[in-house]
């Protein structure tokens, strides 16, 4: 007879306990449970901006989470239990981020996978932390989030200091720019990326000729663009979100300004192309690779399109991997206790994500963050350039 594995023994205990369920239920109700949901679905929280200016990104993240959960459940779930996605609208704001976190905890989530705006994640992290619920972020990139996360915060995406360095190398190297303007919107993400880019530009011998913020939500940024133009930049790197990026593209063209306009990874939502129209042609952004450019993402792209009738957005694959790696950790831990899931996440090595192998460092950051540049060609974001393995030479991101 084949010896029982630890997983088999655990399942045997669960089956044996089921016979005493009527006796155990009152005790669980009176004393609480370390295993929310018992034999019911395992709840994974997804905070994202489901309304407001960034709603298209948030809805994309939620849709990707549901694709991941559907695949997990079709394959038998986690330890025989289904995975349930619980959503919460953080509206990309600190106040709503805190409220969304509390809502998810009240709903009985055992882990959280999501987050778009770093500013909404900042107040949420300690709320999850007090309950030892791990948070795996798919798009919140400010370095402080994992730096102060006390080992309970993880990322399937990269960090702004990684992206800022890549942006600076591209501007001063590939574009041979020397005079660089930086524009942000004073949000946690945008200012953090602008600061990281500024530091790297200076280290590489470039000159930051402008560094300031715009007021998000306005309809006319012509005065800001005119002021920037007066500093004679070679490149303007905008580190804010896609709602403003589309207007900057459009109004830069209307003003006849010749400097190159670039943006960060929050400007690659397809909405920006609708806002800017033909003015988006040639626009360059730094970003993690998009779904269509990842060889392993083909099945995901098909499943996403079948479920949603649209192509996946820029952070969809990172959310998909976040849900999958959380499920893997719960399965490895054989527990839905937050501390056990967190410990299992730290032990994960080379998890086969569709964005590449995933391993977390001690802080919870991904050990292999990859950033490339994409360019708008024929009305779509297309992989453009990336650094080779030496980190010194820019090569074609589509063929190398």
**Mean predicted confidence (pLDDT) in 201-230:** 97
123-170 pLDDT per residue, tens: 999 999 999 999 999 999 999 999 999 999 999 999 999 999 999 999
Q: Check pLDDT > 80 for residue 28.
A: no
Neighbours of 2 (CB within 10 A): 5
What span, in angstroms and rounded, lies between the C-alpha atoms of 394 and 372? Answer: 10
Sorting pLDDT into bands at 50, 70 and 90, what band is 29? Answer: very low
Residue 399: the pLDDT is 62
What tokens appear for 242 in the block? 């896609």
Q: Hey, CA dihedral for 254, 260, 264, 270, is it positive or negative?
A: positive
Cβ-based neighbour number of residue 200 at 10 Å? 20
Q: Which of 295, 244, 300 is nearest to 272 (CA)?
A: 244
* Model confidence pLDDT, tens digit, residues 219-268: 999 999 999 999 999 999 999 999 999 999 999 999 999 999 999 999 99
**pLDDT confidence of 13, banded at 50, 70, 90?**
very low
Same fold, 42-158+296-358 and 161-287+372-396: yes
Q: Is 219 exposed, middle or buried (0-12, 13-18, 19+ CB in 10 A)?
A: exposed
Instruction: Delimit the domains of the chain by residue range.
Output: 42-158+296-358, 161-287+372-396
Average pLDDT, the chain: 91
What's the confidence (pLDDT) of residue 16? Answer: 35
CA 89 to chain centre: 15
Reported as a single tens digit per residue, the pLDDT across 303-347 is: 999 999 999 999 999 999 999 999 999 999 999 999 999 999 999
pLDDT value of position 38: 63
Output the pLDDT for position 318: 98
- What's the rounded mean pLDDT across residues 372-379? 96
pLDDT digits 0-9 by tens, 267-295:
999 999 999 999 999 999 999 999 999 99
Identify the CATH homologous superfamily for domain 42-158+296-358. Answer: Response regulator (3.40.50.2300)
- What distance separates the 2 farthest-apart alpha carbons in the chain? 81
- SS3 annotation, the chain: CCCCCHHHHHHHHHHHHHCCHHHHHHHHHHHCCCCCCCCCCEEEEEEECCCCCCHHHHHHHHHHHHHHHHHHHHCCCECCECEEEEEEECCCCHHHHHHHHHHHHHCCCCEEEECCCHHHHHHHHHHHHHCCCCEEECCCCCCHHHHCCCCCEEECCCCHHHHHHHHHHHHHHHCCCCEEEEEECCCHHHHHHHHHHHHHHHHCCCEEEEEEECCCCCCCCHHHHHHHHCCCCCEEEECCCHHHHHHHHHHHHHHCCCCEEEECHHHCCCHHHHHHHHHHCCCEEEECCCHHHCHHHHHHHHHHHHHHCCCCCCCHHHHHHHHHHHHHHHHHHCCCCHHHHHHHHHHCCCEEECCEEECECCCCCECCCCCEEEEEECCEEEEEEEECCCCCCEEECCCC
- As assigned by CATH, the class of the 161-287+372-396 domain is alpha beta
9 pLDDT higher than 70: no
What is the model's pTM?
0.87
Q: If pLDDT is split at 50, 70 and 90, which confidence band does 25 have?
A: very low
Residues β-bridged to residue 372 = 287
Which of residues 131 and 26 earns the better pLDDT score?
A: 131
Q: Measured between alpha carbons, how far is 181 from 19 in angstroms, rounded to an integer?
A: 68
> What angle, 0 to 180 degrees and rounded to 10, lies between the N-to-C axes of helices 222-229 and 242-255?
60
């Amino acid at each position: 007879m084949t010896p029982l594995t630890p997983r088999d023994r655990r399942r045997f205990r669960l089956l044996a306990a089921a016979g005493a369920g009527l006796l155990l239920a009152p005790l669980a109700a009176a004393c609480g449970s370390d295993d929310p949901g018992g034999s019911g679905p395992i709840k994974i929280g997804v905070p994202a901006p489901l309304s407001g200016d960034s709603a298209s990104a948030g809805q994309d993240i939620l849709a990707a989470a549901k694709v991941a959960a559907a695949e997990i459940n079709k394959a038998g779930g986690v330890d025989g239990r289904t995975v349930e996605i619980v959503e919460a609208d953080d509206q990309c704001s600190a106040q709503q981020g805190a409220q969304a976190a509390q809502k998810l905890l009240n709903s009985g989530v055992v882990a959280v996978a999501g987050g778009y705006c770093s500013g909404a994640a900042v107040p949420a992290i300690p709320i999850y932390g007090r309950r030892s619920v791990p948070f795996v972020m798919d798009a919140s990139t400010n370095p402080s989030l994992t730096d102060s996360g006390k080992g309970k915060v993880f990322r399937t995406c990269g960090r702004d200091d990684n992206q800022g360095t890549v942006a600076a190398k591209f501007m001063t190297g590939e574009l041979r720019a020397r005079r660089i303007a930086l524009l942000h919107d004073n949000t946690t993400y945008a200012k953090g990326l602008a600061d990281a880019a500024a530091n790297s530009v200076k280290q590489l011998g470039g000159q930051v000729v402008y560094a300031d913020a715009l007021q998000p939500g306005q309809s006319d940024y012509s005065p800001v663009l005119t002021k920037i133009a007066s500093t004679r930049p070679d490149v303007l790197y905008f580190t804010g979100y896609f709602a403003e990026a589309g207007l900057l593209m459009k109004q830069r063209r209307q003003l006849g300004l010749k400097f190159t306009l670039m943006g960060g990874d929050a400007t690659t939502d397809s909405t920006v192309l609708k806002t800017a129209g033909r003015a988006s042609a040639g626009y360059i952004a730094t970003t993690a690779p998009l779904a269509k450019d990842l060889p392993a993402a083909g099945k995901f792209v098909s499943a996403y399109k079948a479920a949603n009738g649209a192509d996946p957005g820029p952070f969809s694959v990172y959310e998909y991997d976040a849900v999958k790696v959380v499920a893997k950790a719960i399965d490895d831990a054989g527990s839905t206790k937050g501390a056990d899931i967190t410990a299992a996440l730290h032990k994960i090595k080379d998890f086969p994500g569709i964005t590449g192998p995933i391993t977390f460092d001690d802080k919870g950051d991904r050990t292999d963050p990859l950033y490339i540049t994409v360019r708008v060609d024929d009305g779509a974001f297309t992989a453009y350039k990336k650094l080779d393995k030496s980190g010194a030479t820019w090569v074609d991101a589509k063929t190398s």
